[in-house]
Amino acid sequence: MKKDQDSSKTLKSKYVPTAEFYSQVIDSLQDYSIFTLDEDLLINSWSSGSSTIFGYETDEIIGKPFDIIFTAEDIQNGIPKMEIDKALKEGRATDNRWHICKDKSTFYAYGLVFPLIGIDGERMGFVKILRDLTERKKSEDAIKKYVKELEDLNTHKESVLAILSHDLRSPLAGIIGTAEYLKSNFERMKPGVVKEMLDLLHKSSKDELDMLDYLVEWARIKYAADVFAPTKIKLAKYIQKVFDTLNETASLNSIDLHHEVDENATVFADGKMLFSIIQNIVSNAVKHTPDGGKITITAKSKEDKMIVQIKDTGIGMSKEIKERLFTPQIKTLSKARKENKGAGIGLLLVKGFLEKNDGEIWVESVEGKGSSFYFALPIEKPLYKIDSADKIEFDENA
């Protein structure tokens, strides 16, 4: 009896797992995508976890190129080949990036690729392993968003206080001084001089009110989230609304307002904010475009964003002005307020509204040849927001 038991133990100790055993182990890992490529970088094996994550069944994916799981941007940048080249050079290649599924949705994954070596040392292809980290990335992004909002809120508060103390207080002191002079000297002043001073008071007061309106709107971005109501909007409709309000001003200077935006082009944004964004940029363009000029608005979709271009044939701007354009600086705002009737504040308002709507703004300009303001907004409701383009590195053992 003892001899039979020893024999059984010996057999067990010599057991070698079969290919079927390893296949079962791999297929049990539903949180991982594991598949292999041949030397031509065509997929030749596909785990059940891969089907769960990517949505492709085995018979749909076998024979397809490695590129199929990468986004169009990564393919354009040569990422698949770079991964393989690095794996050949260093024995393995790792990364954290977005991948694309059968239904065109994306997920964020930690990836590893390494050469598949046969028993005799020959290279048989490559192995690719992916772990879905989308939920973890959402958590990381949520934290980053919260931290950035706190930083922005502090900057926002300091900017508002600085403008209140400088750009509002100083002119208000001048208004009060002028009013006191009129009050004390009205009886002995000539009617023409009185009228001139009253005109000055009226203009200065109106400028102060305009500035205050800008600040109230700007503050609304951060402090009145309850009125923020993004929805799917037809872009051309709002552009036409802006043109209708600015046509008279543009016509006085023979400036042509023109748009080439498809009537079905949409963005996901707050309607009031979108109107303010377009109105501020176009109004600013009108102020800086000589008589007989033209302002043209176009839009094109890129991945999940709609990119809008507002191009003018105006005076353009220097590199130094461009770099400070969306930064709240007291000297810049004071000059903008004096020369452009609040244009500087208006662009800060635009930037704030766009960020609130998961968008962004940038500008291209050449002195003497005009400017192009670009802004991007999501086409559909964003699942979550990424506030930084910085690459997030995850622990390979996570």
Judge whether residue 334 has pLDDT over 50: no
Judge whether residue 340 has pLDDT over 50: no
What is the reported pLDDT for 214? 64
* Domain limit, last residue, from 80, 107, 132: 132
Instruction: Tell me whether residue 368 is in a domain.
Output: yes
- Residue 191's domain spans which residues? 139-378
Asked if 340 contacts 284 with a C-beta cutoff of 8 angstroms, the reply is: yes
Asked if 267 contacts 235 with a C-beta cutoff of 8 angstroms, the reply is: yes
In this structure, the answer to whether residues 107 and 65 fall within a common structural domain is: yes
User: Exposed, middle or buried by CB within 10 Å (0-12, 13-18, 19+), for 277?
Assistant: buried
User: Exposed, middle or buried by CB within 10 Å (0-12, 13-18, 19+), for 391?
Assistant: exposed
155 band by pLDDT with thresholds 50, 70 and 90 = low
Mean of pLDDT values over 266-281: 91
Q: Cβ contacts of residue 29 below 8 Å, gap of 6+?
A: 47, 49
Measured distance CA(217)–CA(317) in Å, rounded:
26
- Give how many domains the chain has, as a whole number: 2
From the list 346, 387, 377, 386, the residue with the least C-alpha distance to 231 is 377
Residue 277's domain is classified under what CATH number? 3.30.565.10
Judge whether residue 179 has pLDDT over 50: yes
Interval 72-119: pLDDT, tens: 999 999 999 999 999 999 998 988 888 888 988 888 888 889 898 877
Question: What is the edge-to-edge ordering of all strands in the sheet holding 106-117?
Answer: 43-46, 32-37, 123-132, 106-117, 93-100
Interval 42-70: pLDDT, tens: 998 888 888 888 889 989 999 999 999 99
In this structure, the answer to whether residues 279 and 339 fall within a common structural domain is: yes
Q: Largest Cα–Cα distance of the chain, in whole Å?
A: 132
Sign of CA dihedral 215, 218, 221, 222: negative
147 vs 254: which has the higher pLDDT: 254
Asked if 210 contacts 233 with a C-beta cutoff of 8 angstroms, the reply is: no
Mean of pLDDT values over 373-384: 85
> How many percent of the chain have pLDDT more than 70?
70
Mean of per-residue pLDDT scores for the chain = 78
When mean pLDDT is compared across 195-199, 248-252, 338-342, the lowest value belongs to 338-342
The pTM for the full model equals 0.50
